[in-house]
Amino acid sequence: MKSKSSIIEPLSLLQISLGVFFGLTGLSYLLNYDTVGAAISRFVGTDTTLTLIVAIIELVAGIILLAGSFGFVDAKYMSIAGLVILIFWAINIAAIYFINNSFKQDIIPWLQDLSSQLIILAGLWGVTSRYSK
């Protein structure tokens, strides 16, 4: 039995949301050094150059995701770009939560932070798989 078609597809809404998230996160890094991401970078001992590179990557990722959701990027290129963004985000999670031994003393807040990052990763996976058909 077919269901009613919705005004917007769930994966389209997810892609737009991820695009806005990445775009605004990257922009906030660039405009304001006192963001959570900048604090994490200072905590793990990285310099401002790495913070700027991550900010630019996130801003570009947001632009690509938004452009792709409105059909300005070909599906073939969106598949490749989505995979690159997905890999970048997985490396980001590994670096912040595992490689730098940033385990918090309280496991519950650490798991909550990690789970929010994994939700973003799962969303990227869903959006990327949309274009790899």
- State the pLDDT confidence band at 54, using cuts at 50, 70 and 90: confident
List the structure tokens of 78.
């969106």
Mean pLDDT highest for which of 59-68, 87-96, 97-106? 59-68
Number of domains into which the chain is organized: 1
Cα(76)–Cα(58) distance, integer angstroms: 20
CA-atom Rg of the chain in angstroms: 16
72 φ, ψ to 5°? -85, -10
Q: For the chain, percent helix, then strand, then coil, each to nearest 5?
A: 75, 0, 25
The verdict on residue 1 lying in a domain is: no
Look at residue 7 and give its three-state secondary structure: coil
Whether residue 100 is contained in a domain is answered as yes
In a domain, 4, yes or no: no
Place of tokens 């990227």: 124
**Residue 3 located in a structural domain:** no
Query: Could you tell me the residue range of the domain that residue 39 belongs to?
Result: 10-131
Instruction: Give all strands (DSSP E) within the chain, no chain letters.
Output: none
Q: What's the predicted TM-score (pTM) here?
A: 0.79
Residue pair 37/29 in contact by the 8 Å Cβ criterion: yes
- Percentage of the chain modeled with pLDDT above 90: 50
